[in-house]
Structure 1
């Protein structure tokens, strides 16, 4: 490991010494910021680490964190690093089964509980045996409250610095294909990645970051929390979903990352307010165009942004083109839990490369496997999957390259396009393999489609399941049917005969995390939909468009 890589604990000490009285974390409480300076954060980190020691928790113990994003999440994370504990973050939306599995599999000795929307539904997953420590929010009952913890025992001021190969955290994957796996990340892999983000995106103390994507996900943990440790940037949080836009406007972020689902929701809100044809007309009038763009940027709270990003799931190229047309350039990036979420990015933004995820960053190597799989090597790679030696062995090739499971193409400039998942490819009843993702991308160009999943394992031909956008749900069914049918008829002729989509089925119930169709990072669980729909759609032929409630009439 490069000796120049410092740990977050060393960085905290550096900022507390050089800009201790400057605000670091901004937590909105009832619409007002509660601010924490760098020196205050360091003091709380030392108090909290001392309390954990006082409670008999030993270095190397696993300690879970179950909370939505807040200032105390950062403080807890730093305290766990300072005390030599291994953090085990859990998604704040996780159900009882997932919570129970992660706590048992990791062997966690205690759990920090924070901001949660439905803690009563999750409490059974935590159980009664585990030591519970509460952040200062409405959360499930706990043995110790935040203010108590900050006064317990003696502050841990001098502690041995973490070593590069020391395990920092177990990050459990979102489990899109089964039980989550715990990726072991060390101080070396995490520190290298955070420093690479700061190096490439050139963030510094003048930047304002906003933390709202789940911190249990490696992307937020690196891109926002991690980069703030190494850049000295200020970080604001979001109070609730209802106050989201106001929180963004108040925080005035200069760097803003989001996920495709939210970018498409922002687009819908803008179009609903202005109208497609009116917006297109206004954007063609030179002077008016810049005023309209400025008004849209301000309305989103993104008028101070110098950098916008999207990751965690594929974003339709048409959406990036649309944002580009209103003067907002979204840099798409690619990463996984296993590589600390940062390896490939389209930055600086290059409009000619929309549709790709950009080029590998410095010190990251990629190659294509025989089957077109993206293989990757980087200093940010995990050490192993926790307690899963077989899965670990299968994940790396003989040269130490990681099997990402993503299919890709690489152009002459070295830019990578993700074309699907190795495991997503299925075999139809005719014994032919189909790659669903490119088909989904083509069909998703229809403006009525919000989410789409092509299934077909064991069926004569693929079938597309579609969740309509909110606007499309309000339109007459036959209007929507005509549009979807026209889209299907325009796509099928360009597919191989065995890939032809037999039907588009419009689903009745929205796909959510709660009904287990979406992972916490909003990826679709294809296997869940296959199980629910395969038998019901078998036998529908002839490129039809049906609503789920029409399925009985084959």
Structure 2
């Protein structure tokens, strides 16, 4: 059974929302439910707050806030004049403190626009000259296809208010998967950025989609573009519109909002998967509201203040959940020119967000740049100062917590460093999507004196399911079960993980509750396979619980391999150790073979870092801006990569890796791991089988070359 945090008799909703999050002592423990343990499983764990309040899970903050539409309407009422959505201006010459890099629309303005757009979408579909009797003009799926931008979020809000289900086509899915999603959902309308129009037309040219009626461009089209695309659209039986025209049509032909119910389908979020066609996770409004409730009950975020950056792909649930939570408390989102790690610092300087949510790959890159500028600085005096400050603060964090008293010179150091990164207003950072090293989190805390949380969640949980305290002394956990779900572990004996382990219960993490999805879209077989006999969702992630009930993700079911000498290896753990202990690589794919006794790797690098390395060790002078190809070639020379490998393994000497977990040969490319190569999912998870295939020649050559570290003392 589940319920609201606050009863219906509580009428001051703003006051209730601003009373969140709960005090740490109310939620920073989870306990097993008495009598819930079975053979092969741990007991079921719930948050202490749930157990202390009727042993129930919680769906929403207040009974009147039952859907994502309700949350936004409430935010408009409470914060009508707050900034809601902002477009990044292109003039980077603005440097005066009173200048702005963003053009903002208020919550009240966005509220009007999303009603116009919702009405306009119905107007386009209902009045399409290409509509046939097979189209349901009152209930259909809207497809969104672009990178992060104001218009994407505007369309999402419009769909919420008019009970229209939406789905997203990823920028990097490719035409084959886009076709699959459009066919499966029978989506009659795609709202997309200008550069996606031709790709959609190509899909229609190859094999017509009978349900596709309209393509709406988020961008205004020039006369030449309109003439070019309109002719194709007419021939293909598709109506081509501009978003501004759809909004105008909605304003002229308004339709009353059709608020959804908690059981209505909000979105179909297709997981990027590592094999085969993606599975569409059905996200109902109750599930979305549960996710927002969990986040606000635990995360100490400023309500109605500041701005956040919409950086991670909106097509994925992690960002969608974060955006939903912040919008519900009157915090606006700025949309950068490009959501790229390469331009992130400049974007942060322009927006100055109060928090930053990202993935380990992004944080590893920032960490590398900070280390290169501080503890690896060529200025000997500054290098010594930076190391002293960071080492002392790390000790303070582990003994007193983040924001412990520090000396004046260390505060000055941190203030300047945060300002250079655009994080001077940032209270805490949050990483999710994949495990991140404890050392990386502790480095950020000690270098920047900010909080750093690690969250765990999946598409199937509307993003964050649990989240560590950003200011806790012990990094590493993903926090406790949130108040909208419960957890237990299932034995994985073939991997040596059981509920009765001496080091604490370990096993596959299973989830249940209102925050968990109910089914995959039109895929009963996949749905049946992923739930156990008691209705728990089987995540495939291996976790352990500590004495407080905190969750630690330690492995992936079947994500391990055996070397020829019989040692089992978990590659993800090794990759994280290297990435957090060295600046010499910023991407890493570790590979092993059951016929070989050692590991090899494919690595990405920062040209500036490696240019310094080559100059320092080989007296080679190459410009990192103009000689990237030459740097790459040099790094793959036998004597050079032997030296790099020696330095890499020296850097991870204290990381706790066994000798067989060290890398023995390596291949360098500037950026080998990309979504475009289909070796990364769009949420930056490695597709290991795809990596093995894509880099087959390089892996073969490394094993043919042999170990470059076999004579080193590993």
| TM-score for the superposition, normalised by structure 2 | 0.69
Equivalence for 1:551: none
Asked whether 1:245 is paired with 2:380, we answer: no
Contact 1:449 1:466 in 2 (8 A): no
Tell me, yes or no, if structure 1 residue 304 matches structure 2 residue 364.
Answer: no
- The answer on whether the counterparts of 2:445 and 2:452 sit within 8 Å (CA) in structure 1 is yes
1:265 to 345, 356, 365: 365
The residue correspondences of 1:98-247 to structure 2 (distance < 5 A) are 98-114=177-193, 124-125=202-203, 129=209, 130=212, 131-136=214-219, 141=229, 143-153=240-250, 154=252, 156-203=254-301, 204-223=303-322, 225-240=323-338, 241=340, 244-247=344-347
Question: Which of the two has higher C-alpha Rg?
Answer: 2
How far off its partner does 1:484 sit? 2.2
**Matched residue SS, 1:97:** helix
Contact 1:85 1:168 in 2 (8 A): yes
Note if 1:526 corresponds to 2:688.
Answer: yes
Say which SS state the counterpart of residue 249 (structure 2) adopts. coil
Cα 1:396–1:5 change in 2 (3 A) is farther
- Structure 1 residue 288 corresponds to structure 2 residue 409: yes
Q: How far apart, CA to CA, are the structure 2 residues paired with 1:123 and 1:297? A: 46
Distance 2:704 2:347 in 1: 48
Change over 3 Å in CA distance of 1:501–1:72 after alignment to 2:
same
CA contact (8 A) 2:75 2:328 kept: no
Cα–Cα, structure 1 residues 113 and 532, in superposed 2: closer, same or farther, change >3 Å?
A: closer
How big is each residue's C-alpha offset from its partner over 1:478-530, in whole Å with a ceiling of 9 and x where there is no partner?
46523524655987998789x66683332446221111111111211100122
CA-to-aligned-CA distance 1:265-309 (integer Å, 9 cap, x gap): 222333444452534523536433211110111111111112211
Q: State the Cα distance separating 1:182 from its structure 2 match.
A: 0.8
Residue 331 of structure 1 corresponds to: 453
Moved more, 267-276 or 520-529: 267-276
* Change in 2 beyond 3 A, CA 1:205/1:493: closer
CA contact (8 A) 1:259 1:313 kept: yes
Q: For 1:344, what is the secondary structure of its paired residue?
A: strand
Give the structure 1 partner of residue 526 of structure 2. Answer: 391
Q: Distance in 2 between matches of 1:40 and 1:481?
A: 60
Equivalence for 2:173: 94
Instruction: Give the superposition deviation at 1:355.
Output: 2.3
Offset at 1:24? 1.6
Q: Secondary structure at the match of 2:248?
A: coil
Q: Aligned partners of 2:375, 2:655: CA distance in 1, in Å? A: 32
Q: Secondary structure at the match of 2:321?
A: helix
Q: State how far apart, in whole Å, the 2-side matches of 1:347 and 1:115 are.
A: 42
1:370 to 491, 498, 503: 491
Structure 1 gap ranges (5+): 547-554
Query: Cα distance, 1:168 vs. partner?
Result: 0.8
User: What's the CA shift string for 1:10-41, capped at 9, x where partnerless?
Assistant: 23333333433333211124345322122221
Q: Which residue of the partner structure matches residue 97 of structure 2?
A: none
Does 2:11 match 1:11? Answer: no
Gapped runs of 5+ residues in structure 2? 4-62, 92-100, 127-136, 230-238, 390-406, 493-506, 615-634
Q: RMSD of the alignment, in Å?
A: 3.1
- 2:677 corresponding residue in structure 1: 515
CA apart distance, 1:8: 2.5
Question: Residues 387 and 310 from structure 1, CA distance in 2 versus in 1: closer, same or farther, beyond 3 angstroms?
Answer: same
Task: Decide whether the 8 Å contact of 1:309 with 1:333 is kept in 2.
Answer: yes
Instruction: Specify the SS of the correspondent of 2:273.
Output: coil
Q: Whole-Å Cα distance in 1 between the matches of residues 143 and 530 of structure 2?
A: 26
Higher RCO (Cα < 8 Å, 6 or more apart): 2
Q: What pairs with 1:10-89 in structure 2 (closer than 5 Å)?
A: 10-31=70-91, 32-56=101-125, 58-89=137-168
1:316 aligns with 2:441: no
Change (3 A) 1:545 1:178: farther
